[in-house]
Amino acid sequence: MLTDTADAGQPILQFGTSRFLQAHVDLFVSEASLSGLALGGITVVQTTSNPSSSARLRAIARPQGFDIMVRGLVDGVPVTMHKTCRAVRAALDARSQWPLVREQMRGPVRVVVSNTGDSGWALDTADDATRLAADAAVPVSFPAKLLVLLHDRWCADPETALTLMPCELVSRNGDQLRRIVAQLAGVWSCPTPFIGWLLDHVVWANSLVDRIVSEALEPVGAVTEPYALWAVERRPRLVLPCTHPAIMLTDDLARFERLKLFLLNLGHTLLAQEWLLGRKAADMTVLQAMSDTSMRDALESVWAYEVLPVFDALGQGDEAREYLSELRSRLLNPFLAHRLADIAQNHAQKKQRRIEPLLALAAQRVPALAQPRLRAALEATA
């Protein structure tokens, strides 16, 4: 499945074939390349056995590219844009082409991007240090795959700059992934100089992605909204995959994380909770939920009385209200069929990530604040 253009290697290695990556990272790089502002092409690596992922992989690197449909409201005016993404130059299946994946990492890769899902960083007991051998089978977990690839890179080219940019929705995702991989390197008794290189030479970027990608196109492509943000924490030696208007370097990533996590992500989770508990229609969308008076009122009440006071206490109230005003327009986008069934996947884990930190922050900053709906949602079994 390796395309001819990948023989010389691409500077961007991407783990994941999701519609989000297609409409976010892949599209950004494609758009930037038109102005000569991209690092280069992308090699996409599939790490799961999901049949739909396999179908996307077969089509994602075709020379004609793939379609991204951008639909929504811009300043209240309906907008529809058809874009063609041509950034992906090669596609590999880690299960059957692991030696080729390892070969790519020993080449000119400068940036590694990932989006492996809610449980993508879980380790597997089947992985051990024997996976480092040149002829070893592919590791099971993503952190173990990454460790093997980083060890290969250290052996082949320890000097060239390398940046890892996880897009998983985990607070300070770069730091978290760095910790997991470094701990695994210790368990595997990797050489001390390699662990030092892994910790100090490799740049583990913390970032926050914000874009609603509601539907997949077949066999590859996606439908997304006009709004897009990739906030990246500024740090020395950071290498970005491209320069793009939606990529923002910042010294205060936490401000962006709080807005998205406690307003957009939490809002999605509360709508999914109402959908689950109310046994609503199986194909109900976010737009339909926001048009349901009881569901909308419940969400607006939480935002107003249980979330915004926390932002006020942080001195971020005006910013939060401005974000929320735009967010309402995004959730009321008449062109996106964003199904609550999709949002409700891994619902319990999402509640822990999106509600518990807000409750903890409120306890620190506004201890007298009552948050009954949030506490009830967290404790509910749905």
Q: Which two tokens stand for residue 179?
A: 């910790």
Q: What is the pLDDT of residues 335-349, one digit of tens each?
A: 999 999 999 998 998
Residue 220 backbone phi and psi in degrees, to 5: -150, 150
pLDDT digits (tens, 9 = 90+) for 227-253: 999 999 999 999 999 999 999 999 999
Decide: helix, strand or coil at residue 86: coil
Q: In terms of CATH, what superfamily is 254-379? A: N-(1-d-carboxylethyl)-l-norvaline Dehydrogenase; domain 2 (1.10.1040.10)
Residue 148 pLDDT exceeds 70: yes
pLDDT at 75 (0 to 100)? 83
Instruction: State the CATH class of domain 4-251.
Output: alpha beta
- Of 322, 331, 339, the C-alpha closest to 299 is 331
Tokens of 154: 């250290």
Per residue in 83-121, pLDDT (tens digit) is 999 999 999 999 999 999 999 999 999 999 999 976 789
From the CB of residue 125, how many other CB atoms can be counted at a distance below 10 Å?
Answer: 7
pLDDT at 154 over 60: yes
At 377, list the tokens.
Answer: 């949602």
Is the pLDDT assigned to residue 226 strictly greater than 60?
Answer: yes
* Burial of 128 per CB tally in 10 Å (0-12, 13-18, 19+): middle
In this prediction the pTM is 0.91
Which amino acid is located at 368 in the chain? A
pLDDT for 262 equals: 97
* Element containing residue 45 per DSSP (H, E): strand 42-46
8 A C-beta contact, residue 181 and residue 141:
no
Q: What is the pLDDT of residues 252-297, one digit of tens each?
A: 999 999 999 999 999 999 999 999 999 899 999 999 999 999 999 9
pLDDT computed for residue 118 by the predictor: 64
Flag whether pLDDT at 223 surpasses 80: yes
The answer to whether the CB of 78 falls within 8 A of the CB of 50 is no
Task: Give the domain ranges of the chain.
Answer: 4-251, 254-379
Tokens of 128: 């051990």
At 163-201, the pLDDT tens digits run: 999 999 888 999 999 999 999 999 999 999 999 999 999
Q: What confidence category does residue 6 fall into, taking pLDDT thresholds of 50, 70 and 90?
A: very low
User: Which residues lie across from 334 on neighbouring strands?
Assistant: none
